[in-house]
Amino acid sequence: MHKIIENAMERIPVLPHSMNCLFRVLKDPMANFDDLSAIVNQDPTLATQTLHLCNSAYYSFPVEVTSVSHAVTLIGMKTVAGLAMAAYFQGLLEPKGVSGSLWLGGAKDHVLATAQLAEFLVREMPVKESPGTAFTGGLLHDIGKLVLSRMPSEIATEVRNHMDEEGLSLLDAERIVLGTDHPEVGYRLAECWKVPEVIADVIRYHHMPMQSQYLLTLIVHVANTLVHQLNAKGPGVIEVSHIDPNVLYELHLTEDDVLTLVSNWIV
């Protein structure tokens, strides 16, 4: 089965030069606006799509964002870098075939919402994390599903049958059929892409946050859990009990705090 996963990994497109450069910007504390602007503006399509996300309803700026430099002044360099990555990765998350439907159905909306909520939580909570890094962590947390969406359709069907017949989660069904899961596969891909260590940790442990050494992983775990609930049950029904109480303790949050944060984010 490991060979099948390796074959699926090989079918992931090689990252373009611009994405590798953006990862370097995220890792380099000395990177500046000129570095970011040069990366984004060298690709007109990437620049256009990035500005489109900056002008989305989520940010609701009173004026139109017309340049990368303008975006940086409004939301910060690392968040703009994350938006540029979002512009690229959204194109990879189109579900195709049986495997794509299982692993990437709804993925484009889910990862973007998780990224936005993680960024919001960091801005609203008394933590020293970077909102831009939180956005990128939320954006990339499920990249393991991108690999698994390249699996043969019969593998996807077997995973789906375990879910339907035994009432298992996708994660548990992956472990039975594949002997691994999308967080671990995503971590292997992150190593190949040489993403920043904290982002790789988010990818690997977003379903097991207490095994992580990074506070950001806990925050993305909360965002991911809440976005799943909002998608399944609607904005009026949030069950904070689905979040590990140990995670809330580490983040110094009560259940009421979480409900308030989510309500403010939705508004």
Tally the C-alpha atoms within 13 A of residue 92's C-alpha that lie toward its C-beta: 23
The residues spanned by each domain of the chain are: 2-266
d(C-alpha 118, C-alpha 112), whole Å: 10
Taking only the tens of pLDDT, the chain with its 267 residues reads 578 898 998 989 888 888 988 888 888 888 888 888 888 888 888 888 889 888 988 888 888 999 988 888 888 888 888 888 998 898 889 899 999 999 999 999 999 999 999 999 999 999 988 888 999 999 999 999 999 999 999 999 999 999 999 999 999 999 999 999 999 999 999 999 989 999 999 999 999 999 999 999 999 999 999 999 887 766 666 778 788 899 999 999 999 999 999 989 986
Residues contacting 76, CB < 8 A, separation 6+: 131, 132
Q: Indicate the pTM of the whole model.
A: 0.90
Residue 23: other Cβ atoms inside 10 A: 19
Residue ranges of E strands in the chain: none
CB 158 within 8 A of CB 176: no
d(C-alpha 153, C-alpha 100), whole Å: 9
What sign results for the dihedral spanned by CA atoms 122, 128, 133, 137? negative
CB 131 within 8 A of CB 83: no
Domain 2-266 belongs to what architecture? Orthogonal Bundle (1.10)
d(C-alpha 127, C-alpha 142), whole Å: 24
